[in-house]
C-alpha cells in the first residue's frame, strides 16, 4: 500500500471525458492554488500521516489496511521519511548528495548519488525506481508538476473539524478519480485530510489520509545523514522495468 496518495491533480483527464464549465467552482480551484503556494513557502517542517486504504479481492470483497508515515523536510534538498505498518518498515534519507533507502528490520540499505531538490528527488525515485515517497504531493502542489487545469468538477462542501482544526472541505473530480481535501482555515492553509476514490474500479476503493503538522521541528542537520548500523548489508538500487 502506498503511503503517499496518488497525485490526482497532476493526472490527465480520461480521454473523451467532459464536464460543463459550471461544474468547476473557481473559488475551490483558487483555494487549492493558495494551499499549494503556502506549502512551497515552508522551508522546514515535519508532516505525519495515518493512512487507511482499501484493497479489493477478486470476488469484490474489500480488505482494509492501515499504515503511517513521517517526513522531515528542510528545503531545498534535505529529506528523511519513515513509513511503517504491521507488515513492513522502510526509510528514505537524502542529504542533497546521496539518497538512501533503508529497511531496518532486514538491515538492508541501498544508496545512490543524486543532487537536486526534494521535488526532483520525488519524481526521479518514482520514474526510475518505481518508488513512491510518502506525502509526495506536498512537494508538488503549487508547482507546474501539479496543474489544476484538468480538473473536471470542483465544489466547496462546507466546513468540518479535523483534529480540532476548522477546515474548508473541497470536492474534486478528475479522470477516474474523485477526491476530497480538507484545508485548514486561516493564515496557514495546510492540508489536513485527503480522501481518494478510484472510479475505474466498480468496487470504488478509497484511501483516507489524515495529516498532522509541525512547522517548528527540532530535528538537526544530522537527521539527513545515513550511517549504516552494525551488521547492515548494502544492496543495489534496481531500476524499475519499463514497457
Q: How far is CA 146 from CA 23, 48, 83, 176, 187, in A?
A: 20, 21, 23, 17, 22
Q: How far is CA 195 from CA 22, 40, 66, 224, 238, in A?
A: 23, 22, 14, 30, 32
Helix (H, G, I), strand (E, B) or coil at 218: coil
Q: What share of the chain is helix, strand, coil (3-state, %, to 5)?
A: 15, 40, 40
Strand partners, 102: 91, 109
Band the pLDDT of 9: cuts 50, 70, 90. Answer: very low
Per residue in 22-33, pLDDT (tens digit) is 599 999 999 999
Give the residue-averaged pLDDT of 133-141: 90
Whether residue 98 contacts residue 110, with contact meaning beta carbons closer than 8 Å, is answered with no
The C-alpha R_g of the chain, in whole angstroms, comes to 18
pLDDT score, position 243: 57
pLDDT score, position 1: 34
Per residue in 40-58, pLDDT (tens digit) is 999 999 999 999 999 999 8
> What's the pTM?
0.85
Cell triple for residue 41? 513557502
Per residue in 167-212, pLDDT (tens digit) is 999 999 998 999 999 999 999 999 999 999 999 888 899 999 999 9
Per residue in 141-176, pLDDT (tens digit) is 998 888 888 899 999 999 999 999 999 999 999 989
Amino acid at each position: 500500500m502506498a503511503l503517499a496518495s496518488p497525485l490526482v491533480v497532476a493526472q490527465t483527464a480520461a480521454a473523451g471525458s467532459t464536464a460543463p464549465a459550471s461544474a468547476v467552482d473557481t473559488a475551490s480551484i483558487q483555494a487549492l492554488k493558495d494551499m499549494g503556494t503556502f506549502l512551497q513557502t515552508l522551508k522546514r517542517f515535519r508532516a505525519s500521516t495515518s493512512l487507511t486504504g482499501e484493497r479489493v479481492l477478486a470476488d469484490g470483497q474489500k480488505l482494509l489496511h492501515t499504515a503511517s508515515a513521517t517526513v522531515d523536510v528542510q528545503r531545498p534538498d534535505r529529506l528523511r521519511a519513515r513509513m511503517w505498518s504491521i507488515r513492513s518498515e522502510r526509510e528514505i534519507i537524502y542529504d542533497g548528495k546521496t539518497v538512501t533507502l533503508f529497511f531496518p528490520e532486514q538491515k538492508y540499505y541501498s544508496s545512490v548519488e543524486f543532487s537536486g531538490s526534494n521535488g526532483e528527488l520525488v519524481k526521479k525515485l518514482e520514474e526510475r525506481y518505481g518508488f513512491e515517497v510518502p506525502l509526495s504531493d506536498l512537494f508538488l502542489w503549487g508547482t507546474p508538476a501539479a496543474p489544476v487545469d484538468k480538473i473536471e468538477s470542483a465544489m466547496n462542501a462546507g466546513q468540518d473539524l479535523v483534529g480540532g482544526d476548522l477546515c474548508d472541505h473541497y470536492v474534486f473530480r478528475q479522470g477516474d478519480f474523485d477526491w476530497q481535501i480538507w484545508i485548514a482555515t486561516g493564515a496557514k492553509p495546510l492540508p489536513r485530510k485527503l480522501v481518494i476514490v478510484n472510479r475505474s474500479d466498480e468496487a470504488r476503493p478509497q484511501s483516507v489520509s489524515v495529516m498532522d503538522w509541525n512547522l517548528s521541528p527540532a530535528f538537526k542537520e544530522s537527521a539527513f545523514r545515513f550511517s549504516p548500523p552494525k551488521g547492515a548489508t548494502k544492496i543495489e538500487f534496481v531500476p524499475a522495468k519499463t514497457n
